[in-house]
Amino acid sequence: IETEVAPASTSRQQRPKAVLTHPDRLYWPDAGVTKAGLADYYAEVWPHIAPYVTGRPLSLVRCPGGITEQCFFQKRAWKGLSKSIRQTPDPKSSSKEPVLSIDNLEGLYGLVQAGVLEIHPWGSTLAAMEQPDMIIMDLDPGPGVEWQQVIEAAQEVRERLEKLGLAAFLKTSGGKGLHVVSPLKPDAGWDVVKPFTKRIADAMAADSPDRFVATVTKSKRKGKILVDYLRNGRGATAVAPFSTRSRPGAPVSMPIGWDELGGEIGPAYFTVANALTRLAHQQSDPWADFRKSAVALPGKK
C-alpha cells in the first residue's frame, strides 16, 4: 500500500511528496516518531541539510523495523534500492562497487523509505572524491568523563585548528560527544589530510595525557576523551548535521554556536521533536559561513 504524506501547510505544497509504504510504522517508539514523521522532519530541514548530504558518498544506518529492531551499517547498494539513490562506481574499490549518494529531497525520501535512520557522508564530494572538503574531529568521552571536559576539549580543538588557519564549526553528535568540523577547499588528498588531523590529536594527547587519548584502545579511555581523527580517512564517515540518530529519543546531530556551549545543551539535547522549533526561532545560523570559510589545508601539500 502506498500512501502520500499530506502537506501540513500550503508552503510545503511545492515540495515533492514522500511516497512511503507503512507511513505509520514507529521508527522511534519511545519518541512517537513514525516513518511519515521522519519524512516530514527531513522535508522541513531540507534547506539546512541539503549541502551536507547531497552529492557525496553516503554510509547509512538502516533500521527497517525501527530502533528497537536490528540495524545495519550499509555502504553499498541493497536489493530494491530506490532509483532516487544514485550509484557511482568507486574507482578505488577493487570490485568497482558503486558508492551511494542522493541529489535531492526525493533521494532523501528514498532513504526514509528504506528505513535509513542515520546518514553518514564522506568528507568529500563525488566531484572530488579524493580531496576532502572538510575535516571532522570527533570527541568521544570515555566512561566517567564530565560534559564540561568535553566542552573544553572542543574549545581546545577549535583553538588548534584556528591557529593552523582553519575555521572551526561545532555540532552535537546526537550521541555522547561533540564534533568540530572545518571546511576545506578540496585540494589536498586524503593521504595528507588524515595525517594532518592525526598530528592535532597526537599533540593534544601528548600535551594533556590525563585528559586525551588519540588511539582507539578501549582500555586506555577511562576518564579520558578520545580525539577521534579517524573520521578523516578515505571512505570513513561521520554523521551529517541534522541527521537523526538510531537511538532512543530520536536525537539529531545539530549545528550549534560556540557561545551555546556550557548552557543546557548536551550531546543529545536536540531531537526530531525540538529541532524544527530551534531552526524556526534561531537568530542566526551558526553554520551560515561554513562553506565561505573554507581554505586549502595549510602547510605542506
Q: Which residues would be at the binding site for ligand ATP (CB under 6 A)? A: 59, 73, 120, 138, 140, 173, 175-177, 228, 237-239, 267
CB of 118 to ligand ATP, least distance (A): 8
Closer CB to ligand ATP, 59 or 124, in the complex? 59
The window from 56-64, 134-142, 200-208, 262-270 that contacts Mn ion (CB under 5 A) reads 134-142
> From the list 23, 66, 123, 177, which residue makes contact with Mn ion (rule: CB under 5 A)?
177
CB atoms within 10 A of CB 216: 11
Q: Please report the sign of the dihedral spanned by the C-alpha atoms of residue 150, residue 151, residue 154, residue 155.
A: negative
Closer CB to ligand ATP, 15 or 176, in the complex? 176
Closer CB to ligand ATP, 127 or 216, in the complex? 216
Closer CB to ligand ATP, 43 or 227, in the complex? 227
Give the residue nearest to ligand ATP (CB): 175
The label of the residue with cell 563525488 reads 126
31 near 18, Cβ under 8 Å?
A: no
Buried b (16+ CB within 10 A) or exposed e, 278-287: ebeeeeeebb
The window from 84-92, 169-177, 270-278, 279-287 that contacts Mn ion (CB under 5 A) reads 169-177
The residues facing 120 across adjacent strands are: 59
Which triple of cell numbers denotes residue 145?
A: 568523563
Closer CB to Mn ion, 232 or 271, in the complex? 232
138 is a site residue for Mn ion (CB under 5 A): yes
CB of 59 to ligand ATP, least distance (A): 6
Mention every residue, 6+ apart, whose C-beta is less than 8 A from residue 250.
Answer: 27, 28, 31, 33, 244, 271, 272, 273
Question: 120 touches which of Mn ion, ligand ATP, none (CB within 5 to 8 A by kind)?
Answer: ligand ATP
Whole-angstrom Cα distance, residue 6 to residue 129? Answer: 37
Question: 237 touches which of Mn ion, ligand ATP, none (CB within 5 to 8 A by kind)?
Answer: ligand ATP
141 is a site residue for Mn ion (CB under 5 A): no
Short-list 162, 169, 172, 153, CA closest to 212: 153
Estimate to the nearest angstrom the gap between the alpha carbon of 43 and the chain centroid. 17
133 is a site residue for Mn ion (CB under 5 A): no
Residues of this chain that bind Mn ion (CB under 5 A): 138, 140, 177, 228
